[in-house]
């Protein structure tokens, strides 16, 4: 059986008693948890301004915008923003994904007003100065050139294309060289104008601050933000099922390694069989030396430099993938062994010991996620994004330990069809 979380540890888990949640009048959702054991604060957040809003001709636009937010504002230059952060040992950064633009920051508690001021100006008043934009464009293009020669990146990119077909999820959020070249300063400003606003913005603050002080500070810097006509995300088309195995190899010359991604659609984060599939994935290619996949493909057969499986589950879709890096001459042997392990999982499921070990691992590592303010902030964002409930982490042990071997094999059989796989490889 999985080792239970101690009573002391349970008291330290975030829950309704110590998570403050409020919605500002302009639509911003704020989550706060106090921790006076540290003089610092961490914040994490997101808003709905991801690549789902892009056109095919301007792929990478959302990522470009997020990367450019701190390159200059109406009152700050690129240098002044970073000098102010550096002078107090603080940090602030932005990122982008399919559905959201995200941000994160940290500082001493007395410097939270500065952090929120810079966050507010970057979100509300970026100017996208031309000189800085061209510097950023050059960096993005360099990254894309590197991606085109990276066997792991290309295998993953083509896997998404094969799995999602003509669905928006098939498109790389960092775009292509030609689409980044086509993006203008006006495009950046227009995307920001249409999609950045308070509606749907979620912000978590964790650290040496009371909820009231955090609420007052956020209200001061972001409470007055109003945007008329902020665009909602377009409706997504249904995903088309994979009915037979499809393969693609990306030839990249002069490489000494081939990389592979083999997989299927997986559960969404709130699907009732998510944890059963997640525990099956742990046994397959995560636990210990990367589970059965790592044991058979890497340790016993010596066919791979790395080999593991992963479950990526979002609000609207998920994927279940096995990834490996191999000597090109071992590519087919590695693929055959991986498929064999998928068949074994769907046929026999997991042993009592394998499930108990994975459950113990899940439960035992949970308190580690809350050892830092940043970890807690990210966890609060997670429960808000997926509507898991403020008591989710207090229910977590029971949820994990409640999964049975029958449910694990049922989830494996539901998602892992060895006769209908997506196989993407890249190498010489």
pLDDT attached to residue 5 = 63
Residue 350 corresponds to which tokens in the numbers above?
């997991």
Average pLDDT in the 33-58 region?
A: 96
What's the whole-number mean pLDDT along residues 157-162?
A: 97
- Residue 85 to residue 97: CA distance in whole angstroms: 25
Residue 274's pLDDT band (cuts 50, 70, 90): very high
What pLDDT score was predicted for residue 65? 98
Helix (H, G, I), strand (E, B) or coil at 259: strand
Q: How confident is the model at residue 248 (pLDDT cuts 50, 70, 90)?
A: very high
Question: In the chain, what's the furthest Cα-to-Cα distance?
Answer: 63
pLDDT at 145 over 50: yes
User: What confidence tens digit (pLDDT) does each residue in 170-222 have?
Assistant: 999 999 999 999 999 999 999 999 999 999 999 999 999 999 999 999 999 99
The residue to which tokens 């610092």 are assigned: 40
Q: Sheet containing 91-96: which strands, arranged edge to edge?
A: 20-23, 29-34, 202-207, 40-47, 101-108, 91-96
319-341 residue pLDDT tens: 999 999 999 999 999 999 999 99
Band of residue 348 on the pLDDT scale cut at 50, 70, 90: very high
Q: Are strands 101-108 and 91-96 parallel, antiparallel or unpaired?
A: antiparallel
- CA nearest to 388, candidates 302, 274, 303, 226: 274
- If you average pLDDT over every residue of the chain, what do you get? 94
Share of residues in the chain with pLDDT > 70 (%): 97
Q: pLDDT > 90: what percent of the chain?
A: 91
Compute the average pLDDT of residues 231-253.
92
Q: DSSP string covering 89-153, please?
A: T-EEEEEE-SS-EEEEEEEEGGGHHHHHHHHHHHHH-B---HHHHHHHHHHHHHHHHHHHT-HHH
Per-residue pLDDT, 200: 95
- Asked whether residue 290 carries a pLDDT value surpassing 60, the answer given is yes
> What is the mean pLDDT of the segment spanning 411-418?
96
pLDDT, tens digit, 9 for 90 and up, residues 53-110: 999 999 999 999 999 999 999 999 999 999 999 999 999 999 999 999 999 999 999 9
Predicted local confidence at residue 4, as pLDDT: 64
Q: Quote the CA–CA distance of 207 and 32 in Å, as a whole number.
A: 8
pLDDT at 8: 42
Better-predicted residue by pLDDT, 401 or 10: 401
Q: d(Cα 220, Cα 337) in Å, to the nearest integer? A: 58
Q: Hunting for tokens 């639509």 — which residue is that?
A: 27
Q: What is the mean pLDDT of residues 37-60?
A: 96
Binned at pLDDT 50, 70 and 90, residue 26 comes out as very high
pTM: 0.92
Hey, which residues does 122 pair with through a beta bridge? none
What does the buried/exposed string (b/e) look like for 249-276 if buried means 16 or more CB atoms within 10 Å of the residue's CB?
bbebeeeebbbbbbbbbbbebeeebbbb
pLDDT value, residue 129 = 97
> Which domains occur in the chain, in start order?
14-222 (3.30.830.10), 246-427 (3.30.830.10)
pLDDT at position 303:
87
Q: State which H helix or E strand residue 220 sits in.
A: helix 211-222
Mean pLDDT of 257-278: 97
Residue 412 has a pLDDT of 97
């Amino acid at each position: 059986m999985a080792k239970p979380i101690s009573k002391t540890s349970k008291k330290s888990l975030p829950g309704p008693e110590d998570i403050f949640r409020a919605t500002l009048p302009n639509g911003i959702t704020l989550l706060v948890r106090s921790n006076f054991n540290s003089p610092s604060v961490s914040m994490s957040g997101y808003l709905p301004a991801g690549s789902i809003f892009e056109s095919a001709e301007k792929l990478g636009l959302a990522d470009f915008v997020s990367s450019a937010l701190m390159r200059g504002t109406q009152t700050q230059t690129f240098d002044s923003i970073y000098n102010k952060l550096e002078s107090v040992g603080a940090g602030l950064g932005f990122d982008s994904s399919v559905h959201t633009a995200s941000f994160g920051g940290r500082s001493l508690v007395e410097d939270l007003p500065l952090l929120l001021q810079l966050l507010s100006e970057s979100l509300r008043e970026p100017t996208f100065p031309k000189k800085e934009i061209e510097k950023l464009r050059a960096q993005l293009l360099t990254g894309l050139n590197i991606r085109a020669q990276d066997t792991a990146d290309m295998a993953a990119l083509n896997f998404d294309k094969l799995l999602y077909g003509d669905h928006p999820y098939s498109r790389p959020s960092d775009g292509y060289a030609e689409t980044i070249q086509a993006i203008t300063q006006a495009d950046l400003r227009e995307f920001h104008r249409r999609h950045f606003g308070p509606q749907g913005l979620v912000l978590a603050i964790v650290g040496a601050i009371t909820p009231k002080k955090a609420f007052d500070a956020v209200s001061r810097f972001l409470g007055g933000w109003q945007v008329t006509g902020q665009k909602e995300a377009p409706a997504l088309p249904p995903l088309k099922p994979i009915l037979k195995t499809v393969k693609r190899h990306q030839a990249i010359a002069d490489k000494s390694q081939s990389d592979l991604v083999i997989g299927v659609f997986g559960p969404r984060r709130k699907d009732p069989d998510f944890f059963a599939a997640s525990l099956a994935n742990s046994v397959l290619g995560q636990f210990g030396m990367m589970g059965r996949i790592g044991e058979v493909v890497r340790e016993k057969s010596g066919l791979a430099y790395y080999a593991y499986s992963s479950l990526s589950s979002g609000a609207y879709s998920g994927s279940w993938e096995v990834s490996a890096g191999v000597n090109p001459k071992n590519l087919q042997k590695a693929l055959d062994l991986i498929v064999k392990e998928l068949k074994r999982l769907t046929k026999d499921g997991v042993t009592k010991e394998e499930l108990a070990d994975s459950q113990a691992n899940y439960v035992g590592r949970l308190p580690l996620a809350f050892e830092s303010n940043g970890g807690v902030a990210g966890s609060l964002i997670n429960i808000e994004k997926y509507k898991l409930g403020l008591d989710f982490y207090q229910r977590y042990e029971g949820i994990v330990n409640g999964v049975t071997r029958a449910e694990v094999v049922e989830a494996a059989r539901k998602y892992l069809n060895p006769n209908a796989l997506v196989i993407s490889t890249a190498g010489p």
